[in-house]
Structure formats: C-alpha cells, structure tokens
Chain A
C-alpha cells in the first residue's frame, strides 16, 4: 500500500470535516485485475488491515496501478494502516506497507466516527 497526495485530497485538505474530503480520502485505488478478483464490482466496500489497524474504504479502479499495489490518498483513513516506527529518522514509513484486503459490506467510518473512538485525556 502506498499513500500520497491527490488533487481532490489536496483541494480539500483545509476543509477536512467536509463531505468532499471524506470522498477524496476514504477511497482506495486498485488495479482492474485486483478489483475484479476481489469481486468488488457490485457496490461492495473494501476492508484493509494489517498489524497496525483496519478500516473500510470505497474501492476504485486505477489503470495506472499494477497488480498487488493499492494507492490511498494521504489522510486519517490511510494512516490507520501506518506503523509508528521512524527508523531513527523521524519519518514513519507511509509507503510500501503490507496489507491484507477483502470485500466487505461494512460502511466507511466518517471523520467524526474515526476520531470519536480516540480516548482523549482531560487537561
């Protein structure tokens, strides 16, 4: 899995609570072959998981991707799957992350749900 900037994600990165940002950053792009193989064509969502976490995305085909690689716009959905290790240089590895994926009927969490589950300490 690789995560990075897209035009739609960038244009909405200062309105992160908006529907447009939700649409832009909760999508997962895959090759046509992987898309078909996972049986995603009938409106299913896709569940991505690894040792760091799991979350649901809306799948989309990107013809520029090869089999075995998925692209997710950078943001809080993608970051559920990123580990904290910085390899001694301060920067987590946001790209080249191994994940498992499967089709699902579960809904995608919206941004408030995503953060509602985080335990906050009272000042």
Chain B
C-alpha cells in the first residue's frame, strides 16, 4: 500500500508530499523526503518495554507500573519540570499542560535551547510574517541569516524559498536573488548570489549598520562593521531595497550567538524599516516539526509561549528564571518528565550534571543519553508515523498528521493520560487515608 501525500514529521517544513510504501504494517520505502525525513520515517532501534530503575539498573515493568512510579515522582516533587514537547503532536501537548497544572510544575519546550530568543524577540516587536505559500508564490529576494537549510531543512529551498517556482515566480531560482549572511561558507551559501561573512557574535552590529543604510544614514556607518566592509553592506542594503517581495529566514546562528533575543529584536526592526520602502517578511527556521505547536498550545491555554510556571495561582513566565536550563542550573526543580526530547545530549554538560541529580521520567520511542540517566522509561508510538495528530509548520499553519502504520506502543497522549489517572488516584487514596486518620 502506498500512503500518498503524507506529512514528514522531522523538521518545521512539514513537507506534505511524501509517499510512503507500507507492507504488512511496516514502512518499506519513503519517496520525496530528504535524508532527514526518510531516516525519521524509516525508524530506528526502539525501546521495547517500559522500565523503572532499581538498584541502579533499569528493569522492565508493565505500563501501569511505570505510570504509577511516574505519578509518585511527580507528586513527591515540589516543582517538577515537564520538558520537551517539540517532536510530538498538539493533542499530547494539551495533555501535558493539564498534567503540569495538576501536579503544579513548570512546562518548557525545546524552544528554550533553540528559537527561544526568537520567541522573546517576537513578543517584544511582533512578527511581520507570511505563509510559506506566499513566499513561494511571491518572493524575489530571499535572505538566509545564520541558518543553513541545506543541512537543517533540506527541502525548504525547493518547496518554499530559493528554488521554488510559484504563481508570480514561475522562473524559480533564476529570477530570484539569494543572500546568505553567516560566519562561514555553508552548503546553503553555495547556492547564493551574495554571501556576506561576518565575525561571530556581531549580528547585532551588522543589522544596525544595515538599518542605517536602509534609512539613508550611511554616512554614520563606520568603514567596517563585524568584519564586513561598508561598501559590501551598502550593496547588500541596495539588494534588499530593490526587492519587490523580500523574505528573511533566520536560524540559530543568530539566536545562539552573543546578543541572543536582542539580535532578533533588531532583525525584526530591520524588516519593519524595509516595509517603509517595499514588502518584506521574516520567519524563524523552526527545527523540530512541532516546536511551533507547543508554543501555540501553551499560548492559547496559559497566555505564554514557553517556560510556563504552573506552581503559582496563575501561569507565570520569566524565561531567565523559568526556562529549563535556568531551573536546573539553580537547582530550582526537583524532578523532570522528559518527553520527545533528549536534554542529556542537548543541554550544556554542567546543566546535564544537575539534571542527573533529580529523578527523571522519560517518554520517548528511542533510547538516547537521557535514558541512561532516567529512573522511569516509557516507550511511545512515534507521533506523525504511528499516531495521528496536529502539528504547526514553521509559518504557523496547522496541519493534520495521519497515522501511517499501526503500532503496539501507546501514543504520547495515551501515556500522559495514564500518568494523569495515576496522579489522580494516588492523590485520591492519599486524601482518603488522611481523612481516615483524621476520623480516628
């Protein structure tokens, strides 16, 4: 059987033209996807059974036992961290938010080690955005700033940006101007008309210089900014102003560098300035396929897009305090539920050492370094392949992911339901016991 137009659940492009050949409930072949997408859909070695650590070793248990152990850990903690969420569907994310509220924890997503600064910058300035369809159909000038889609979002250029042919861009790549700003040459820059190499950590200065040039105040710009000659920046600003419809895509090169959210804030201002002259839009290149979704789900339920503290009377958000890395670095959390993420690999080592000191519940289809530190391990179905649900593309478009094959593993949503029920019944039996004691 061939499943046509399936959605790839790897990166924020959410390519929806994937054909998947399924035989006897197994994925045999994946067509149209890039190397990242095929590898994801084809799958890898799985965690087989739920496990709980006893005497230092992970021992197999039933799902029910794992749920109960997870519930005990969450209820014993005064401020559990519920972290991950970017590689699962919105239905599971909604359940996670409910769980965080019920146990009184902090819910944070992988955005905090990724586009978190973008989210903060966008909150400050607003996002002059567009859909990827609009970019495909209209953009004649495309800027990739601190991102390398050729390796991180391999089909972005062909489907939506530099090499896409759209309604008003029928000639595709040949009629577009592609600009790359980075600290190095990349596979993406090989396809560019103009490559501007800046010194690491100087994005803010370079953007400020461009803003002055765009505003016609070039006389105030020094001869060199961020290692780039003024003449080079002037020609870049001319290219931007010559656009009929320009699109800036930015990546972790700018969010992970010195300046962090202020870089984004400035880039958004540059795009606002450009809109006094021509049409320009800007978009973060979101990595995990549904990191946009957890932002949406959290925002519609708590008002904040990430790092939400549910331990108080009302949701509270202060990223330098309530983000996963800050909580761990300050030993301000005493248990962690990790879902669809691998902080042991992706957090700075010193923070991983802090994470290892608290009990960890892991929900994931695959073994990874977080498993080596976990106390409860619950294997799940792969969302977007073995479980259906909603995901948000990097431009904020909600798409429905189908189930491609059946699985004997429960979905993330079912697992969270199981934990939630155990939390409720444990709480109920404890209050009953408390009540009996009071009666005596």
Contact = CB atoms under 8 A, between A and B. Distances in A.
Interface string B368-383: 1100110100000000
Contacts, number: 187
Contact of B373 (A13, A112, A115): A115
Nearest to B189: A64
Contacts of B172: none
Contact of A91 (B44, B112, B358): B112
A11 B183 contact: no
B184 A66 contact: yes
Contacts of B252: 4-5, 94-95
Contact of A88 (B73, B154, B320, B329): B320
A27 B170 CA distance: 41
Contacts of B113: 91-92, 94
A94 B225 CA distance: 23
A69 B184 contact: yes
Contacts of B350: 52-53, 83-84
B39 A91 contact: no
Contacts of A64: 184-186, 189
A69 B182 CA distance: 12
Contacts of A115: 344, 369, 372-373
A89 B320 contact: yes
A39 interface: no
Given A16-B342, A66-B197, A6 B151 contact: yes
Interface residues of B, number: 71
Contacts of A93: 256-258, 260
B363 to A, nearest CB: 14
Contacts of B148: 4-5
Given A91-B325, A92-B348, A76 B256 contact: no
Interface string A89-120: 11111111000000000000001101110111
A115 B360 CA distance: 15
Interface string B62-104: 0000000000010000000000000000000000000000000
- Taking each of A6, A13, A76, A114, which has the highest tally of chain B beta carbons within 10 Å of its own beta carbon? A13
Interface in A37-64: 52-53, 62-64
Contacts of A52: 348-350
Given A93-B260, A95-B253, A122-B56, A88 B344 contact: no
30 contacts: A2-B200, A3-B256, A10-B10, A14-B368, A15-B366, A16-B369, A52-B349, A79-B346, A82-B349, A84-B325, A85-B329, A86-B319, A86-B323, A86-B325, A86-B329, A89-B117, A89-B260, A89-B323, A90-B324, A91-B260, A93-B257, A93-B258, A95-B201, A95-B257, A115-B344, A115-B372, A118-B356, A120-B373, A121-B356, A121-B357
The 5 A-B residue pairs whose C-beta atoms are closest, nearest first, are: A90-B323, A64-B185, A88-B320, A90-B319, A82-B348
